[in-house]
Structure 1
Amino acid sequence: MLICATATAATTINASKSFMDTTFYYFHDFWEEKGDPRVSSLPLMYGGPWKVLLISFLYWYFVRILGPALMKGREPFDLRSVMLLHNSFLIGVNGVGFFVALWVTDMFKETWNCGPVDPNTSNLKDNLTVYLGYIYFLTKIVDFGDTIFFVLRKRFHQASFLHVFHHGVMPIVGFVGLKFHPGGYSGFLPTINILIHAIMYAYYALACAGPEMKKYLWWKKHITQLQMVQFVLTFFHAFNAIVNPNCHWPLVLAYLEALHAVLFFFLFASFYQKAYGSSSASSTSSPSVSSTSKKAVGNNNKTD
């Protein structure tokens, strides 16, 4: 009986150890084994996306729960100078990043050729591609500042589901793409997205510069139109990888990109219809353009 009990205990211990090993593998080792080794040394990129998920959760918690509670009974902050600095910084990062991306992608050609990415390469262009992708990933976290400004200015209505959801998801999208396939075919979405962001933040910089800029803000709805065009192009980019049997882009990334494109196209289209579907809606609603789209309100202060 003692032998049986000992054997049972040993089996239980082995099963527990196996479970822990499997859990740790998928929690950490899987991401390092399958991921590109060139990104592992970068902050937030070692192991799985858990730190990024935590950051996104803290963002959601602040804008939905903690921030409104802290601002209850307080006067809204005047953050126009901070917002102008924030917008100007992101204009510069996204604008310069777009032209660098044109060079490293050979004018978008590398983002459509379905070629493999060599994780062992050390040439200048490939290394620059990795760091450019990393900067793009970091800007998705910097974008959280947009919503934080809403909360501190008590513009809670501007932190819509679309805005918060899109902002919260984008750092995770950036992490996964950079971790498993930095550069090459993965470069399409970031390249087109940073161009739209440079345009978008130029609009918001003007919007928060003062009421005298109002006459230059007639093109606000075209930001949302650009977003929807982006999602259509992104869907066909993913579809090309799915139907091409010789494409080296991971199929799971193709399906995720297609899902992302379809989901946000319909979310943005729904917003566009509500905001600009009639002349009355266009004149009375605040334009909102989520993580890649924001709102400018009547006083022309930059908002999401």
Structure 2
Amino acid sequence: MALTLESLLGFLRVTVSLPSFPVCCCYLVMILFLAPIWQRKTSPVQIRPILILHNFACSLVSIIAFVGFLRGILQSDSIFQKGDSEMLKPVYRLYWLTKLLELLDTVFMIVRHRRRQISFLHVYHHSSILLLSDVAYHMYPWPGIAFYLMNNSFVHIVLYMYYGLSALFPDKSFPWKRHITELQIFQFFVGFVHATFGYMYHGFCIYGIFYGITMTVLFSNFYYKAYLAPKKLKAS
């Protein structure tokens, strides 16, 4: 589907009609208005046991989603196959529900007064992936779309395992934090390439290309500021 005013308006109409859209709006209101009030009126809350449970649970659910997507893709004709898959439909639903669960990441940051961690990248990623997973589950449970979600599920296995271990052993340093960001950048770059080929040769929507670009750029910018810029500053 090419980018036209009509297609853009259609995309916006679909987005507004999603079950997750009100949730996304409440999520943004919480961050913009409620979080500052909470920080002014309260003290940080220690919720380490909840963090441990939440992170390991998210990692476990991501394993289930990854295996489900992988099975569905292996039994399809190609990673660009369009058309609903009854095998993948329950996995899509699980993935969508997982994105709702992962919104608690932000809630925990607010409760613990970690507003510095609530960056534009964090909010954009959580809110956009929630809406996109909703679109995928209700409208496009295809093997071709499952390729992106399978990759994201794999990354989240590692990501939430890291968060869980960090919460379980707060005094221990895990050296693979930087490599997780590299894995995220690689994931979105692969998704961008897949979306480009899908658009050029298989009739995929062009918005997948735009999303792949935004995520690759935002995560690359974060990686530069977090890991490369400090080294340059230290060297100078």
The TM-score by the shorter chain falls in which range?
0.7 to 0.9
Is the counterpart of residue 162 in structure 1 residue 121 in structure 2?
yes
The change in CA–CA distance for 1:258 and 1:153 in structure 2 (over 3 A counts) is same
The change in CA–CA distance for 1:282 and 1:73 in structure 2 (over 3 A counts) is farther
Is the counterpart of residue 48 in structure 1 residue 17 in structure 2?
yes
Secondary structure in structure 1 of the residue aligned to 2:113: coil
Secondary structure in structure 2 of the residue aligned to 1:78: coil
Amino acid at match of 2:182: Q
Aligned residue in 2 for 1:102? 70
Aligned residue in 2 for 1:269? 220
Aligned residue in 2 for 1:152? 111
Superposed CA offset, 1:187-221 (max 9, x none): 1110000000000000000111133432xx10101
Amino acid at match of 2:58: L
- The share of aligned pairs that are identical, in percent, is 26
Out of 26, 34, 46, the residue aligned to residue 78 of structure 1 is 46
**Alpha-carbon distance between aligned partners in 2 of 1:204 and 1:281, rounded to the nearest angstrom:** 28
Aligned pairs for 1:252-263 within 5 A: 252=205, 255-263=206-214
Is the counterpart of residue 228 in structure 1 residue 185 in structure 2?
yes
How far is 1:139 from its partner? 1.0
Is the counterpart of residue 92 in structure 1 residue 43 in structure 2?
no
TM-score w.r.t. the length of structure 2 is 0.86
**Alpha-carbon distance between aligned partners in 2 of 1:96 and 1:170, rounded to the nearest angstrom:** 18
Is the counterpart of residue 117 in structure 1 residue 83 in structure 2?
yes
Root-mean-square deviation over aligned CA pairs: 2.5
CA contact (8 A) 2:195 2:209 kept: yes
**Deviates further, 95-104 or 129-138:** 95-104
Give the structure with the higher percent helix.
Answer: 2
CA contact (8 A) 2:100 2:130 kept: yes
**Alpha-carbon distance between aligned partners in 2 of 1:130 and 1:117, rounded to the nearest angstrom:** 11
The structure with higher relative contact order (CA 8 Å, sep 6+) is 2
Structure 1 alignment gaps of length 5 or more? 1-25, 32-44, 119-125, 284-304
**Alpha-carbon distance between aligned partners in 2 of 1:137 and 1:204, rounded to the nearest angstrom:** 21
Amino acid at match of 1:48: S
How far is 1:282 from its partner? 10
Superposed CA offset, 1:116-139 (max 9, x none): 415xxxxxxx43310101111111
CA contact (8 A) 1:111 1:186 kept: no
How far is 1:276 from its partner? 0.2
**Alpha-carbon distance between aligned partners in 1 of 2:233 and 2:54, rounded to the nearest angstrom:** 27
**Alpha-carbon distance between aligned partners in 2 of 1:266 and 1:186, rounded to the nearest angstrom:** 21
Aligned pairs for 1:1-304 within 5 A: 48-49=17-18, 51-106=19-74, 110=77, 112=79, 114-118=80-84, 126-214=85-173, 217-244=174-201, 247=202, 251-252=204-205, 255-280=206-231
Q: How many residues align?
A: 224
Secondary structure in structure 2 of the residue aligned to 1:127: coil
Superposed CA offset, 1:39-95 (max 9, x none): xxxxxx9x931x311101101111221122023131111011101110011111001
Secondary structure in structure 2 of the residue aligned to 1:211: coil
**Alpha-carbon distance between aligned partners in 2 of 1:258 and 1:237, rounded to the nearest angstrom:** 9
The change in CA–CA distance for 1:239 and 1:218 in structure 2 (over 3 A counts) is same
Superposed CA offset, 1:151-177 (max 9, x none): 000011111111011111111111222
